[in-house]
Every structure is written in structure tokens, then in C-alpha cells.
Amino acid sequence: MYTVGEQDDHEEIFPFVEHEGGHWQAPADLERRLYKLSEVDESYTYLRALARHGVYHPVPIEQTTRDPSRRQPHISEVTGSDGVTRVMTQVYTDGVLPRPHPYVVYEFITLGTLAHVVPPEVDVLVVNAATPCQVIFQVDDEERRVWSDLHEELFDPDALTNRIVSRFTGAPGTGPLLHGLAAGAHLCYTNGDPWNTLDWHGAGYSSEVERLEESWGVTSREEWLETQQRLLECEVSPWYWDFVLGARIALEKERGSGARVDTGQWRDCVESTLRRVVKASDEAEFASFVADMREMVGKILRYEARFRADGLLGPDETVRTVAAWDLGRGSQMARWGRGARYATRAEMYDALQRVSAGVRSTYTSWKQFSAAYVMGRCLHFDEERFGEWYTSVLEAHRALVRAPRSPWNTVPFQLPG
């Protein structure tokens, strides 16, 4: 059960958007389109957009389940101006969701699943209630069939990934919080999540809990706190990656500015330093480890050569530290922890600010940060195959560098003061 709720309790359970004089800034592209469709009464086209993107519905946290087919949407009775009382249920698109609530969470659901789980007594479905892009649909058997058919035709979860999603409203101003959010841009691009929101719902409460459990082994607040701290201190990645990179830096300093380090000298420096500082109890095992570290020099050089060919690094640039791999994931871990209700709002803010400080003290540009992040991902997963673990993050890097609305083209790397 969520143990830190009291620190973040508030009354914003359902979205509410003030809309005066016909002027409204939609929070994101989807809501902007839905607003235009609602204005011209294009309800079928509106439904098609919902079928592509899915919706969210509120659930008391103690009633959540990971099985979407067993979720019970919230229902209520409303009496219209005609005096007729109707049973309604409410769903929302991602951009209008309120800040996370400790005891009422939002679950993601497709239009196809919604057709099956909305109780038979429901008369109307209200989409984005109390917002300028609200639309009401009558619920009957024919309407449910339409939802199912549109889902089968249009819903493709892969189409919602590998894209830059920015919020137009509600994002923090320029500063450490926004900078810390921008440091998680690789993963936001890959997952198709909005990069600049602090009101994190992600893929829905249960999916955020499941993501942390399956990918990180995190199943509690205590485990989240430990993992978040280790990422912020760059202790999740193996220590020897930066040890090998540090040996090159030490040789460069020893030989003076602009000096190029010979590969053999670099390998010898790695080995001699290891033999000087490590006391091995098993000589054979230690000798194998030393050989692996000497080989890592070649692996790093080969990755850097590929990075230069693909534009990740300039002609004379190298990767100095892979701290970005932990810091970039630390930016997302802060948000995932908030979505899973393991983190308080203050803890998420603190983690993002610490990510920002770590990134700015270690790197000089978003491109340099990105190259180091890619190196960490490759050392972790790719095994010099230059397969999808590499090509997918290269795609993210290129999109984030080129897109005008990308965080790296809207958030200055170095902050004033």
C-alpha cells in the first residue's frame, strides 16, 4: 500500500480546466486536435483519435488490478436539464490528467477493452469531462461495437513509441527541474512519453508498478529509494567502465594538452593500475579480469569509431565518462517512482534537481551527454553487435538533436547563475 500518501494528499482527483472567452491552450497535440474536432462536432473522428491513443480512467488505489479486463470504471449518476437521471462513466486523455493523487490513480485502457468493461447500466461515456475538449457519447450495444471495431483497425502500441511528445502547459520553467527532465529524453522518446511533465502518469498506475518490477526488480518504496540513490551516485553501472575511461584521461593529462594516447599504452596503464591497487585472492580469476579490461579498451575505441561515423561524436571527440547512462535513467526513475506512488512529489523534485546538477558538472553539452549515454547503453546491452540496442538509441539521439521542439533545442545545457 502507498505509505507516503499523507505528504501529497490534495483534492484534485478529476481534471478541471478553466476556459474563459474561448481562449484555451491545449496541453499537448492530442488535446489540441480533440478540441478542434469537438468544436465542429466531428465525434466519429474524435473517436478514431481515442482508438489510436487510448484513454485513462480513475480507480481507487486499493481496487487496482494489472488485468485491464477486470478493471471497473468509476460510474456516477447525473440529472440533466431535461430532468432525466443517467448513469455515466468518465475517461480522459493523458494531457488533461491532474497531478498524481495518493489514493485515486489513473489506469490506461484501450477503446476496445473499454467496450467490454463499461457496465451495462451505463448510459453515457464522458471524455475529458470539465475541459474544453469534452465530448459525450451515448453507450449502447451498437456504440460498443464501433469502439471494438475502431480498436481493431487503429490501435498499434508501437505507433505511440519513438516520438517526441512535449507539453505546452504545466511544464516547469527554465531551471534545474526542467533540465533534469530533459536528461531523461532518450527514454521518453523511446516510450513515447511527454518529456517535460511533472504530473507523471506514464502508461497508467499498474503499468508503472509493473515496469519497475520487471525491468528493475523494484517492488516497494524502500527498493525505489535505494535504486534512485544508486543511480544518482552513478553506482548502478559497473565501476570498471569509468575506470578504463579514466586511465585514458590520466595518460592525456600526463602527456599534456592535445596528446593522443596510444592504444597499447592505454591497455598497459589499465593493467598496471589494476595490479597496483587490487589485491587478488585468485590469481587466475584476476588475470582473466585484467585481460577483459585490456579488451574493453578496444571495445570502447571501436564504439567511438562507429559513433564518429554516425555523427554521435566529432572527429576528435571521445567519451570521458558513462555517468550519463545512470543519470539519464535516474531522471526517469524519479518519474516512474512517482507514477508507482513509491515517491513523494518532493522526492521526485529533489532527484531531478540532483540529476541536473550531475549532468551539468560532468558534461558540457547535450550532444556530449547523449554520446556518453549511448556508450553506456551499448556496453550494457549491445555486445558490439551494433544491433537494435544501438540503432534505436541512435535514432533517438538524431531526433532529439534535430527536432525544433526537442528538449535539447529548448532547454539550455548550462543554466544561468
Strands (E), 101-197: 104-109, 124-127, 135-138
DSSP-assigned letter for residue 109: E
Q: Is residue 315 part of a domain?
A: no
State the pLDDT at residue 260: 83
pLDDT at 394 over 80: yes
Q: What confidence category does residue 258 fall into, taking pLDDT thresholds of 50, 70 and 90?
A: low
Cell of 119: 457496465
State the pLDDT at residue 259: 72
Contacts of 224 (CB under 8 A, 6+ apart): 212, 218, 333, 337, 340, 342, 343
State the pLDDT at residue 9: 85
Number of domains in the chain: 3
DSSP-assigned letter for residue 380: I
Q: Region 289-301: what's the mean pLDDT?
A: 97
pLDDT at 20 over 70: no
pLDDT tens track for 91-104: 999 999 999 999 99
Q: Could you tell me if 378 and 303 are in contact, meaning their C-beta atoms sit under 8 angstroms apart?
A: yes
Note the pTM of the prediction, 2 decimals.
Answer: 0.94
Which helix (DSSP H) or strand (DSSP E) does residue 359 occupy? Answer: helix 345-362
pLDDT tens track for 331-361: 999 999 999 999 999 999 999 999 999 999 9
Angle at 233 between CA 408 and CA 278, to 5 degrees: 125
Q: Is residue 394 part of a domain?
A: yes
Regarding whether 329 and 225 lie in a shared domain, the answer is yes
pLDDT tens track for 164-212: 999 999 999 999 999 999 999 999 999 999 999 999 999 999 999 999 9
pLDDT at 228 over 80: yes
What are the CA-CA distances from residue 177 to residues 163, 167, 208, 238, 373 (Å)?
A: 22, 15, 21, 27, 20
Cell of 377: 547503453
Q: Region 50-73: what's the mean pLDDT?
A: 94
Regarding whether 129 and 31 lie in a shared domain, the answer is yes
Domain range spanning residue 245?
239-309
pLDDT at 149 over 80: yes
State the pLDDT at residue 84: 85
Q: Is residue 26 part of a domain?
A: yes
291, amino acid identity? A
Domain boundary among the residues 125, 158, 191 is at 158
Q: Is residue 168 part of a domain?
A: no
More confident residue, 189 or 71: 189
State the pLDDT at residue 338: 97
Q: Mean pLDDT score of the chain, rounded to an integer? A: 94
Contacts of 207 (CB under 8 A, 6+ apart): 108
Domain boundary among the residues 111, 130, 158 is at 158
State the pLDDT at residue 1: 46
pLDDT at 19 over 70: no
Regarding whether 331 and 188 lie in a shared domain, the answer is yes
Regarding whether 180 and 49 lie in a shared domain, the answer is no
**Could you give the 3-state DSSP secondary structure of residue 244?**
helix
DSSP-assigned letter for residue 173: P
Pairing type for strands 124-127 and 85-91 reads parallel
> How far is it, in rounded angstroms, from Cα 288 to Cα 241?
16
Q: Is residue 314 part of a domain?
A: no
Helix pair angle (323-339, 205-216), 10° resolution: 140
Q: Is residue 82 part of a domain?
A: yes
The percent of residues above 90 in pLDDT, for the chain, comes to: 87
